[in-house]
Amino acid sequence: MKIGITCYPTYGGSGVVATELGKNLAQRDHEIHFISSSLPFRLSHVAGNIFFHEVNVQSYPLFDYPPYTLSLTSKMVDIAKHAGLDVLHVHYAIPHATSAVMARQILAGEGYALPVVTTLHGTDITLIGQDPSFAPVVTWSINESDGVTAVSNYLRQETFDHFNVNNGIEVIPNFIDTERFYRQDKEHFKQALCPNGEKVIVHVSNFRPVKNTKQVVEIFHGVRETHSDVKLLLVGDGPERVPTERKARELGVYDDIRFLGKQDPIEEILSIADVFLMPSESETFGLAALEAMACNVPTVVSDVGGLPELVEESETGFLCPVGDVEAFTERVRALLGEEDLHTRMSQAARDRAVDTFDIDRVVPMYERYYEEVQENASAQSS
């Protein structure tokens, strides 16, 4: 199949999922055309049957806000015709699903049928998508898509609860390449960051308010009252980075935290982690927690959204009420202090990643779904 994929190229879960999906589909002999505003950050090489098409946004003196959605639509039309796309798969509803549906309609007028699959990821449904300035367009784009998927049962239900949706939604969970994400021997790296054998807590996010990064620091501060031999590694960057640094200074723990910024080889950092922390306000899936699990890292996460579908309470990690810093602190302390518990959960976390979320189990679900959507679309047009 020739598949167009549109996603945000920046540091974030939906872009990671879209890029890893495209790379894996290419290994399965599909031809993949990424259409995005810049090279997706996990797409380090473009080769063979993977193509990248950059969307150029025209500035014009009249435009205070250059209309990216329209430039994207035009690019989708152009690539569909010239590459002969069989399906266009867009990640994150705003504005990608809208552009895709418009592109499909333009192409239909020229006698070209291009089925559109939209994958809903998170705040496109749970937060910003519900804003009145977007909600009618999001609803229309979901209803007009030929196929819609959501990354968790929770997100599927949220979509039905908050939008007037009359289309089906298939749940296809996020996935992980467990041959890339596994616990590696990174003793030199560990030695460099933790010269005295300190234990390591890791948090990875794009530092948006929804990720509660200041609470990560508060929890770390609490943990250090009983475990002075712990370091915190913060990976990623975003609007909350500076307030989080400020919080670390206020609490006097700044020197035991490393802000590592945006990093690609996440699996190397996770390979020296003892606990992964995700106290998010809202989370439809929690891909970063899955990456940690694949590297044998037990997770302590918020009991919210799609996280209970990923993290099994007291088996692969712990689920704590949102905002309950004390509960998070206690759970992290337990994992750092009880070796048997840690060993058991580390193995259970890896097993769950491999058994349920391995890339080779999940990507075929997308392949089957594309075929189904194609069949339905051609049945409707004949």
User: Which residues in this chain contact ligand GMT in the complex, by CB under 6 A?
Assistant: 8, 12-15, 17, 121-124, 126, 151, 174, 206, 210, 282-287
Calculated CA dihedral for residues 143, 170, 208, 293, nearest 10 degrees: -170
Closer Cβ to ligand GMT, 222 or 318, answer by number: 318
Closer Cβ to ligand GMT, 139 or 374, answer by number: 139
Closer Cβ to ligand GMT, 210 or 341, answer by number: 210
Helices (H), 323-382: 325-337, 339-357, 359-381
Which two structure tokens, joined as six digits, stand for 265? 């080889």
The rounded distance, in Å, linking the Cα atoms of 144 and 241 is 38
Helices (H), the chain: 13-27, 68-79, 98-109, 123-126, 135-144, 153-162, 187-193, 213-226, 241-250, 266-270, 287-294, 307-310, 325-337, 339-357, 359-381
Question: What's the min distance (Å) between Cβ of 257 and ligand GMT?
Answer: 23
Closer Cβ to ligand GMT, 174 or 374, answer by number: 174
User: 114 with 88: CB under 8 angstroms?
Assistant: yes
Question: What's the min distance (Å) between Cβ of 280 and ligand GMT?
Answer: 6
Question: What's the min distance (Å) between Cβ of 344 and ligand GMT?
Answer: 25
Closer Cβ to ligand GMT, 145 or 284, answer by number: 284
Question: What's the min distance (Å) between Cβ of 123 and ligand GMT?
Answer: 4
Question: What's the min distance (Å) between Cβ of 281 and ligand GMT?
Answer: 8
Closer Cβ to ligand GMT, 123 or 374, answer by number: 123
Q: What is the DSSP string of 145-177?
A: SSEEEESSHHHHHHHHHHS---S--EE----B-
Q: Tokens 């007028």 correspond to what residue?
A: 109
Question: What's the min distance (Å) between Cβ of 86 and ligand GMT?
Answer: 24
The rounded distance, in Å, linking the Cα atoms of 306 and 373 is 25
Which two structure tokens, joined as six digits, stand for 348? 């259970």
